[in-house]
Chain A
Amino acid sequence: MNDRFADAWALLPGYLSEHVVLSAAAMALGLVVSLALVIAAVRSERVRWPVLAFASLIQTVPSLALLALFYPLLLAVSGFAKSVFGAGFSALGFLPSLLALALYSMLPVIRNGVAGIVNIDAAVIEAARGVGMTDWQRLWRVELPLATPLLMAGIRTAAVWVIGAATLSTPVGQVSLGNYIFSGLQVQNWVSVLFGCVAAAGLALVVDQLLALIEAGLARRSRARVAAGVAALAVGIAAAAVPLGRGAASSYVVGGKAFSEQFILAELMSARIVAAGGAVAQRTGLGSAVVFAALASGDVDVYVDYSGTIWANVMRRAEVPRREPMLAEIRAWLEEEHGIVMLGSLGFENAYGLAMRRDRAQQLGIATIADLAAHSAELSMGGDLEFFSRPEWGGLQSAYGLQFASRRDFDPTFMYQAVTDGEVDVISAFTSDGRIAANDLLVLADPAGAILPYDAIVLIARKRANDDTLRRALLPLVDAIPLALMQEANYRVDRERDKETPAATARWLESEIGARGN
């Protein structure tokens, strides 16, 4: 418990800095655009309705989806810029988060700003015109000052929303306090999740109070209060921005998806790169499609993917080949299409498998998926969030004629518990998951070969294809991690008691690999 708290505490400066700078930049951008739209909307009824409708519409898009949508959008824009101007930009991390959060901040500012100005006493507006103010003078001297209380309330709401929603920028590759939450959720480190929530809430609270101070200062015409609030915000943002300034521009970016094994492998690779003399920045907790696109565009230098994922999701191949020709074809395709180097396989597979409680399987006399087919009509099936939409599921159904009584989607974290508790009879387990052994689950054999091989493979981006440091650091990992070792590593992170951090587990794994290599 104390260790986990200390680990979380050590990560705070980095996460908090990124979170503050992202939120501040998004608020600044959002405010500029919002105020321009407020001014346009109060000057013209014809503009007002579409502006308010647009701002409300954005709010109906879930913030996570809004963030996710900006990645492919920016990737397309970057590709276009590359073809036209010869230079693209990074579509991962800061930029999509900034744009999505800026959009997200707009509704309360626009709505309150418009209401604040439109509802000003008509006599005051008539007087402003009567004394000879121009439209701009009226805006600056009368309308904006009188709308300030409502506008500030809107800005405070927006700031709290943005700081909260910024935790969701982790899956698009932006480090934030959300890293605590996403990684903690995946490895069931509740201390980490709680730490992230408390830190984000604390930050939101502090910012809200500083904005309240500015608001009170404006209302009471107290320059001291306004100055104090503005200065405190400025100092906070500057303090957060300084450590980012010394960022290592030439560091290696190690990517990872959002589950325990990926966190461990990212830590393992990072430690090896650092040992080989390289600087490392980690971008973990990324979506599966996001991390591959990031590798292809060079935003991520190296990460571990799985042959079946590349085959089915990236190459869009439907057939199920044998392992060796499949790896050879993937290697050639990645090289040709994206210049990506497949360094090699780590030595284990994290495939999909159908798993049952061992006692339940024995009771029903089930050892293979073919046996399962005979009973499937009375059994319930649980899958992770994407399993039922994957080609494997279709392949399994047609190969064995599976027809379950019911099926449910689970977050992978809860799926193993659900089958252990008997909530469902069968799950789509990941074969390298430590909870298979720990919960005494049985992975059913696949005699028809309907399930794709999922070898863990190290992929390196085009620009690092011939990088010596990277090769020196990572080549020793090829064929060095057997399935049982990875399962045990995963279990150290996933288990309920004596839970270890991915970093600690990576150190343990490193020593195990060293011991076996000797």
Chain B
Amino acid sequence: MSVTADARGRPAIELRSVSRAFGRTVAVRDVELVVWPKEFLVILGESGSGKTTLLKMINRLQAQDSGDVLIDGQPTSAVVAHELRRRIGYVFQRVGLFPHMTVAENVAITPRLLGWDEDEIRARVEELLALVNLPAEMAPRLPAALSGGQRQRVGVARALAARPSIMLMDEPFGALDPITRDALAREYRSLHERMGLVTVMVTHDVLESLLLADRIVVMRAGVIVASGTPHEMMNDPRDAEVRKLMDMPRRQMTRVAAMLDDAKRP
């Protein structure tokens, strides 16, 4: 973490001392977080760690009790919530495709809300289906006719439709089979590069976070307990719990490597 703020420009997202409680349970406590332009940030934590609440406070699907959230230097509280959300892509595990709308209508929803003209929308939908590797003949189908992987591809296309610069992803591939999941994750990472996006992804999958992230922050009980690049996390975790967390993929990796070695032996 040697690069300074000045060298990276203005933060894309900034959380200043943000807290949120549900009744007597504190979900997020006094969190400070900066996300830089073009950064792929993964928030890693177990269920109940407050990571989803933190993510939803960025596009105001949840309101913070105290503290400020800034997008491109502007407090989100100064913007009408639904206008803020139209500027930010949002993808989550249960996808939430509108079951009464076709694939094309689902993808087109945010541009429609923004009042784009229909020709522009049609062209954009075509472009997006190609971008997420869906054949064009899927466009008139209803979501019920799609597989899980196809649905989430539509979900990603819908989130990207209005050309947001920020993508929020809440365990986006968590419900998919391992092969689809791996393919989609790699494809998305390359989209992130090509389009110069800012991505904040929430997951509890350690391996996924290591393979996708530029930087990982680990949350536990509403606070950030560690932050660093995947390399730093694997090799120099300051926190004992984080070390334990990283040990699991390391162990798996070692065993898989041993198998590969066995296989090479004549």
Residues of A within 8 A of B (CB): 121, 123-134, 137, 141-142, 145-146
Contact = CB atoms under 8 A, between A and B. Distances in A.
A131 B109 contact: yes
B158 A123 contact: no
A137 B61 contact: no
State the 9 A-B residue pairs at the shortest beta-carbon distance, nearest first: A127-B96, A132-B86, A123-B94, A130-B90, A123-B96, A132-B85, A132-B82, A145-B100, A131-B110
A238 B184 CA distance: 58
Nearest to A127: B96
B113 A142 contact: no
Nearest to B142: A221
A126 B92 contact: yes
B97 interface: yes
Interface of B: 59, 61, 82-87, 90, 92, 94-100, 109-110, 113, 158-159
B110 A132 contact: yes
A127 B98 contact: yes
Contact of A132 (B83, B92, B95, B97): B83
22 contacts: A123-B92, A124-B97, A124-B99, A126-B61, A126-B92, A126-B94, A127-B90, A127-B95, A127-B96, A127-B97, A127-B98, A129-B85, A130-B96, A131-B158, A132-B82, A132-B83, A132-B84, A132-B110, A133-B82, A133-B109, A141-B109, A145-B100
A146 B98 CA distance: 9
A130 B85 contact: yes
Q: Give the interface SS of chain A, mostly helix, strand, loop or mixed.
A: helix
Nearest to A135: B82
Q: Give the interface SS of chain B, mostly helix, strand, loop or mixed.
A: mixed
Nearest to B84: A132
B73 to A, nearest CB: 21
Contacts of A134: 82
B61 A129 contact: yes
A134 to B, nearest CB: 5
A355 B113 CA distance: 80
Contacts of A133: 82, 109, 113
Contacts of B109: 131, 133, 141
A123 B90 CA distance: 12
Contacts of B83: 132
Contacts of A121: 94, 96, 99
A68 B221 CA distance: 64
A121 B144 CA distance: 14
Given A124-B99, A146-B99, A132 B94 contact: no
Given A137-B82, A141-B98, A145-B100, 16 more contacts: A121-B94, A123-B96, A126-B94, A126-B96, A127-B90, A127-B95, A127-B96, A127-B97, A130-B90, A131-B86, A131-B113, A132-B84, A132-B85, A132-B113, A141-B109, A146-B99
B4 to A, nearest CB: 34
Contacts of B95: 123, 127
Contacts of A145: 100
A408 to B, nearest CB: 59
